[in-house]
A and B are shown apart, each in its own frame.
Chain A
Amino acid sequence: MTAITMERNTLTEATQRGLARAWIEFESALVQVPLISRMLGHRLRLEDYQRLLVNLRQQVVEGSRWISRAASNLGPEHEELRSLFVRHAVAEHRDYRLLEDNYVATGGAIEDIRSAPKNIGSEALSAFMYQAASREDPIALLGAMFIIEGLGERLAAPWSAAIREQLGLGDEAVSFLAYHGANDGDHLDMFDHALALAVTDARTGDEIVRHARIVARLYRLQLEEIDNV
């Protein structure tokens, strides 16, 4: 291995470490969120799940839009990352419809989930995403994607199982979480590749980790502020 590839490896490892720490802090602190705590304590009510769907939908609907905006701001030097962002935006851009279908399957009215405003946490999260995506070469948003994808890879499957079991719901009511639980593993492999491409210096690595920490905190805020509009 040459000195340069060794240094790149060390940088990528340091970034992976920072991201892992951001994730671990995020995942372990989620149990302090009242709704998640009730879910883990087998005390979830149908209303809890319905409110979760309504509140998540308002943020998920923005997902592919901020990713697209970020893609459009990635310059010629980051073509490969740009195509990855674009593919990601395509893969996600109708996900919010699953949330709407799930809501209807639990007995909710479609117009209620479509018309609900963002809660305070979702506003903060969304505003941060668009602001970060609007900057030139927003590579640091890989950190944001890492947290959002991690939710799918690590939490969606156990959450969908817990919700089904506690509320006696069928597949059609948990398809959003079940879909992400089953599919986001591939996304993370792609993410490793993107990170290796992106981290060319320590500053970029630090910024990716910082964005992951910000998004992790704002995502938790979104779950803490359920229905607080």
Chain B
Amino acid sequence: MQPVYVTAAAQFLPGPPVGNDAMADHIGRLSPEAERFGRLTLRQNRIRTRHYAIRPDGSSDWTVARLAGEAVRGLIAGAEVDRERIGFLATATTQNDLMVPGLASGVHAESGLPPIELASLQSVCASSMMALKAAALQVAAGEHRAAIAVGAEFSSRYFRPDHYHGTSTVQPDGTLPGDAEFLRWTLSDGAAALMIEDRPAAHGLSLRIDWISLRSFADRFAPCMTGGAVRGRDGSVTPWSLYPGGAAAAAEAGAFQLRQDVDALYRMLPVWMGEFMRLVDEGRIDPQEVDWFLCHFSAHSLREEMVRLATRAGCMIPEERWFTNLYDKGNVGAAALSLMIDDLMRSGRLEPGQRILCAVPESGQCIMAYAGLTVVGDTQ
């Protein structure tokens, strides 16, 4: 197979950074209790600023396709490759603007690219790795010489009070259950894109993609983060389209809200770490050799027990080698992987020969993805 490289990266984050005190201006205010819960969540995730594509009045100039399109335009503007030579576009997101057609069509329309092969990857955070792997394999197989993987999220629109009022999710005191409130204070908006080519960039550093591993554990986990589902008390999940009474009844039952079972998320942690151990045993990861660990999960949120498990098994990467932009740029789901790679490439801290390990866990129904990259110097 042809070696493949990330030769350029770009990001688009809408509007100015929004601090914790101003968050509620954008996602709206449900109740004082909800904001207390929010402050608690923010203490745990430690996010200080993020970006929103929604205005305080609930209006927006953006769609997720336009956010992604803007990142792709920025990518092409900064890349060495001509747009005519780019043969493949893979998109990643949690929720497309429309149910039909796929996001890749919408991004293509916004991107200024000529006719092109597409793939729309829809999942949660790990869709970013699905898109990256699709793009990398297309180039590695010789099908195209240049490809783009872009991830984008516009989740703030689902967090506005109008999205909850009149549904059974809102409790009599104006609060939401924890599994609905948690994500309002966790997710935000943005897009980031990577250029994948069959050669390193002539100028500046590139990242060779050594391997990508993605595995689902849906054989043993129920849906943990959902949208479009009416959840029963026993944890059962009914798709909105099969809910008795139709779409209006499903909406009233809260089907169109994002929910995250936080307890189930913590039950997934050992499985995510088990994947790391598998890759160590198979010789793909050598924890000693990792110079940069880009994890879509902050070191402090690993519980002590997990750190102990990892340390005993020789799998703990020292915290000083973790790279994160979570605290300043927020959790942008499917855009987070490319956003981290872009910030690392622009950090001025990379040197040829360094090894980068990317980790993207997805709580949706339990996926774990890892990728190994090596920094290579320019060819000029």
Contacts and interface: CB of A to CB of B under 8 A. Distances in A.
B100 interface: no
B40 interface: no
A83 B219 CA distance: 41
Contact of B217 (A16, A17, A28): A28
Contacts of A18: 281
Interface string B220-256: 1110000000000111100000000000000000000
B190 to A, nearest CB: 32
Nearest to A153: B305
A13 interface: yes
Interface residues of A, number: 22
A20 B306 CA distance: 11
Which of B220, B273, B280 gathers the greatest number of chain A CB atoms within 10 Å? Answer: B220
Interface string B293-308: 0000000000000000
Contacts of A43: 234
Contact of B314 (A14, A21, A25, A40): A14
Contacts of B219: 32
Interface residues of B, number: 22
B314 A17 contact: yes
Contacts of B235: 40-42
A66 B331 CA distance: 51
Contact of A20 (B217, B234, B236, B309): B309
Given A13-B314, A41-B234, A43-B234, A31 B277 contact: no
Decide if the interface of chain A is mainly helix, strand, loop or mixed.
Answer: helix
A2 to B, nearest CB: 18
B267 to A, nearest CB: 8
Contacts of A9: 314
Contacts, number: 56
B119 interface: no
A183 interface: no
B312 interface: yes
Nearest to B305: A154
Decide if the interface of chain B is mainly helix, strand, loop or mixed.
Answer: loop
Contacts of B309: 20
Which of B234, B236, B277, B315 gathers the greatest number of chain A CB atoms within 10 Å? Answer: B277
A13 B217 contact: no
A31 B365 CA distance: 14
Contacts of B273: 20, 24
Given A18-B281, A24-B274, A43-B234, 7 more contacts: A20-B277, A20-B312, A21-B274, A21-B278, A23-B270, A28-B221, A41-B235
Interface of A: 9-10, 13-14, 16-18, 20-21, 23-25, 27-29, 31-32, 40-43, 192
14 contacts: A10-B314, A17-B314, A17-B315, A21-B274, A21-B277, A24-B270, A24-B274, A27-B270, A28-B217, A31-B220, A40-B235, A41-B234, A41-B235, A42-B235
